[in-house]
Amino acid sequence: MITVADGLRICLQIAGLYGLYLTGVWIQTTFSLLIPGSIIGMLILLGLFATNIVKTAWVAQGVSLLLRHMPLLFLPVMAGAVTLGHVFQGSGAWLFIIVLVSTVLVMVVSGKITDVLIQRRETS
């Protein structure tokens, strides 16, 4: 059961994550970087964890709520597909195949390289 105190804590934690996101966006625009602000914010938080400035427990509940229900957060973006029907007419099947082929290539190459390197290390 989530208590009022839990709810407040989760809101504060998500507000903190949002603050880091805004910091990342600010850094991106100020230095006109091509890396998304969200990724910069993520790297900042990683740095704060690594230097022990921020303890993981301080954001744990907010993080777990956001990550567990991430599919909900995607729905508004997916709704944008109502305006995209024309893209999938005609060449739609090709797009599907391209994405699948590329996905298999990524899976095989990354998985195989890691697999081979791990086995080489364990036999040596």
Partner 1 sequence: MSIWIAVLMITGTIGLYVTGRFIYQRIPHPLTLPLVTSTFLLLSLLLLFDIPYETYMLGGQWIEILLGPAVVALAYPLFNQWHLLKQYFYPLSMGMVTGALVGIFSGYFLARLAGVDETVLFSIVPKSVTTPVAMDVAATLGGNESLAAIFVMIAGLGGVMIAQYTFRLFNIQSFIGRGIGTGTASHAIGTAKALENNEIEGAVSSIAMTVSAVIVAFFAPLIIALFH
Contacts of 59 (CB under 8 A, 6+ apart): 13, 16, 17, 45
Of residues 73-92, those binding partner 1 (CB under 8 A): 73-84, 87, 91
Smallest separation (angstroms) from partner 1 to the CB of 35: 5
- Cβ proximity to partner 1, 2 vs 100, nearer residue: 100
Amino acid letter, residue 56: T
Q: Which one, 1 or 78, has the nearer CB to partner 1? A: 78
> How large is the C-alpha radius of gyration of the chain?
21
Task: Write out the binding residues for partner 1, residues 12-71 only, by CB under 8 A.
Answer: 14, 17-18, 20-22, 24-25, 34-39, 41-46, 49-50, 56, 59-60, 62-63, 66-67, 69-71
Of the candidate residues 30, 31, 121, 123, the single one contacting partner 1 (CB under 8 A):
121
User: Cβ of residue 6: shortest distance to partner 1, in angstroms?
Assistant: 17
Q: Yes or no: say if 24 and 41 are a contact pair by the CB < 8 Å rule.
A: yes
- # of chain residues touching partner 1 (CB under 8 A): 73
DSSP 9-42: HHHHHHHHHHHHHHHHHHHHHHTT-SS-HHHHHH
